[in-house]
């Protein structure tokens, strides 16, 4: 769903160096990171701060290694993502944990080649080596065609951020300074909880819709989730939820029927009690890993494929024998999907936006 051309150049070949626990070298595996999420997140950070224009164009920029302060080149401690829009640019450091998924994939290959033993603990470092001819952004675009970007404005509605905090309660996961604020109405959460209870031992979910807002006085961009659209025609089992082409068609039709100019700002899904499904003994359920809240590999793939914009989030309803139904939120941070916090707008508190002016009132 996010098919715009992303022009990105690292100018470096990256590799993961594997070591045993005693420090002895195991292998070096070349990797090709997907830099699009890092550049997308960096670009959006510039929009939030008012340093880059808020546009829908795909992220354009470069990736530069940050050399390890103690070891030096070629070992890196992070990378620096530089996002550009027109003549403006912004940079952010992306930690080495960005390579964690690639390290797991490479380790799996080493196990298959019997270089690593199954379950063996290892350490890894990341190295970067210059590649001639890949230092200029233009080299990422083939010479036999040209691309002209159309900078359409991001659909933002002006609103006062402070008024949304009134009557909002922090919830949903670990909050971090600097995360984009996300506001979810209490009726939406109640609806998701009801749908989760009705789903029983099968996963279910849907698309979260609402408004992308901006408070120019701060400045800040934030999300208001106003409703959910159930994922009809989705393929559902006890461990997997798959959105089909019919699902997306139904969601677009529902948004059109609502006639509120809403955006698809994320998705939600329900994880049943896997510990109960796997018949874990009752006495072990409080410590069983299956009863913990988690974002699966399939969840990450759907987020990356269908909700890759830095402002798009995922809301997870989890069931466990120990805690019952709980809600948590995930979103993009430094180009990675992580657990994050949200704000629940209580039912009695409503924010009105009329001609860019807002008032709070209590519903009687």
Q: What gap in Å lies between CA 88 and CA 85, rounded to an integer?
A: 5
Q: Mean pLDDT, the chain, as a whole number?
A: 85
The answer to the question of residue 1 being in a domain is no
How many Å separate Cα 207 from the centre of its chain?
15
Strand partners, 128: 14
Q: Which has more confidence, 2 or 332?
A: 332
The answer to the question of residue 213 being in a domain is yes
Question: What's the pLDDT band for 363 if we cut at 50, 70, 90?
Answer: very low
Last residue of a domain, one of 105, 140, 175: 140
Strand partners, 270: 204, 317
Per-residue pLDDT at 348? 61
Q: Do 196 and 231 meet the contact criterion of CB atoms below 8 Å apart?
A: no
> For position 173, which CATH number holds?
3.40.140.10
Last residue of a domain, one of 96, 114, 140: 140
pTM: 0.84
Q: Which has more confidence, 243 or 177?
A: 243
Per-residue pLDDT at 138? 43
Per-residue pLDDT at 7? 42
Residues 273 and 135 in one domain: no
The answer to the question of residue 3 being in a domain is no
The two three-digit tokens of residue 225, written as one number: 């989730």
Strand partners, 327: 317
Question: What's the pLDDT band for 336 if we cut at 50, 70, 90?
Answer: very high
Residues 165 and 126 in one domain: no
Residues 103 and 187 in one domain: no
Last residue of a domain, one of 113, 140, 167: 140
The answer to the question of residue 149 being in a domain is no
Plot region of 300 (φ>0 → left; ψ -120 to 50 → alpha; else → beta): alpha
Q: Calculate the CA dihedral of residues 97, 101, 106, 108 and round it to 10 degrees.
A: 130
Residues 50 and 192 in one domain: no
Per-residue pLDDT at 202? 86
Q: Which has more confidence, 209 or 321?
A: 209
Q: What gap in Å lies between CA 95 and CA 335, rounded to an integer?
A: 10
The 10s digit of each residue's pLDDT in 80-100 is: 999 998 889 999 999 999 999
Q: What gap in Å lies between CA 279 and CA 352, rounded to an integer?
A: 49
Residues 211 and 342 in one domain: yes
How many Å separate Cα 38 from the centre of its chain?
11
Residues 172 and 56 in one domain: no
The answer to the question of residue 239 being in a domain is yes
Question: What's the pLDDT band for 362 if we cut at 50, 70, 90?
Answer: very low
Asked whether the predicted pLDDT for residue 52 surpasses 60, the reply is: yes
Per-residue pLDDT at 356? 44
Residues 229 and 86 in one domain: no
Q: What is the 3-state secondary structure (H, E, C) of 117-180?
A: CCCCCEEEEEEEEECCCCCCHHHHCCCCCCCCCCCCECCCEECCHHHHHCCEEEECCCCCCCCC
Instruction: Tell me the residue range of the domain where 230 lies.
Output: 157-362
Question: What's the pLDDT band for 168 if we cut at 50, 70, 90?
Answer: very high
Q: Which has more confidence, 20 or 294?
A: 20
Residues 200 and 278 in one domain: yes
Residues 124 and 214 in one domain: no
Question: What's the pLDDT band for 136 if we cut at 50, 70, 90?
Answer: very low
The answer to the question of residue 147 being in a domain is no
Residues 165 and 218 in one domain: yes
Q: Which has more confidence, 268 or 291?
A: 268
> Which of these ranges, 100-109, 201-210, 266-275, has the smallest mean pLDDT?
266-275
Per-residue pLDDT at 290? 52
Task: Provide the number of structural domains found in the chain.
Answer: 2
Residues 113 and 173 in one domain: no
Per-residue pLDDT at 143? 41
The answer to the question of residue 150 being in a domain is no
What percent of the chain lies above the pLDDT cut of 70?
82
Per-residue pLDDT at 240? 83
Kindly report whether the peptide bond that precedes residue 20 is cis, defined as omega within 30 degrees of 0.
no
Residues 25 and 99 in one domain: yes
């Amino acid at each position: 769903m996010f098919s715009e051309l992303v022009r990105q150049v690292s100018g470096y070949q990256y590799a993961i160096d594997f070591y045993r626990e005693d420090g002895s070298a195991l292998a070096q595996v070349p990797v090709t990171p997907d830099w699009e999420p890092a550049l997308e997140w960096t670009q959006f950070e510039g929009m939030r701060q008012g340093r880059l224009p808020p546009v829908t164009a795909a992220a354009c920029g470069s990736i530069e290694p940050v050399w390890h302060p103690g070891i030096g080149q070629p070992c890196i401690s992070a990378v620096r993502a530089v996002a550009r829009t027109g003549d403006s640019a912004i940079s952010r450091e992306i930690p080495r944990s960005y390579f964690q998924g690639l390290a797991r994939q490479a380790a799996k290959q080493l196990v298959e080649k019997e270089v690593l033993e199954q379950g063996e603990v290892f350490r890894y470092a990341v190295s970067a080596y210059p590649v001639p001819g890949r230092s200029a952004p233009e080299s990422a675009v083939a010479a036999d065609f040209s691309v002209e970007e159309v900078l359409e404005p991001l659909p933002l509605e002006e609103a006062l951020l402070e008024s949304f905090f009134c009557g909002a309660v922090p919830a949903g996961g670990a909050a971090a300074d600097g995360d984009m604020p996300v506001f979810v109405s209490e009726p939406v959460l109640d609806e998701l909880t009801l749908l989760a209870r009705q789903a029983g031992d099968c996963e279910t979910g849907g698309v979260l819709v609402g408004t992308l807002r901006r408070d120019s006085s701060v400045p800040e961009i934030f999300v208001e989730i106003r409703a959910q659209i159930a994922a009809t025609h989705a393929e559902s089992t006890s461990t997997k939820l798959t959105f089909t082409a019919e699902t997306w068609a139904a969601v677009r039709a529902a948004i059109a029927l609502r006639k509120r100019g809403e955006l698809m700002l994320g998705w939600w899904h329900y994880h049943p009690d896997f510990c109960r499904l796997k018949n874990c003994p009752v006495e072990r359920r409080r410590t069983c890993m299956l009863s913990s809240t988690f974002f699966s590999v399939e969840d990450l793939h759907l987020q990356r494929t269908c909700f890759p914009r830095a402002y798009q989030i995922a809301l997870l309803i989890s069931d466990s024998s120990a805690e019952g139904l709980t809600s948590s939120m995930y979103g993009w941070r430094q180009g990675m999907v992580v657990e994050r916090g949200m704000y629940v707008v209580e039912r009695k508190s409503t924010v009105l936006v009329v001609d860019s002016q807002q008032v709070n009132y209590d519903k009687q």
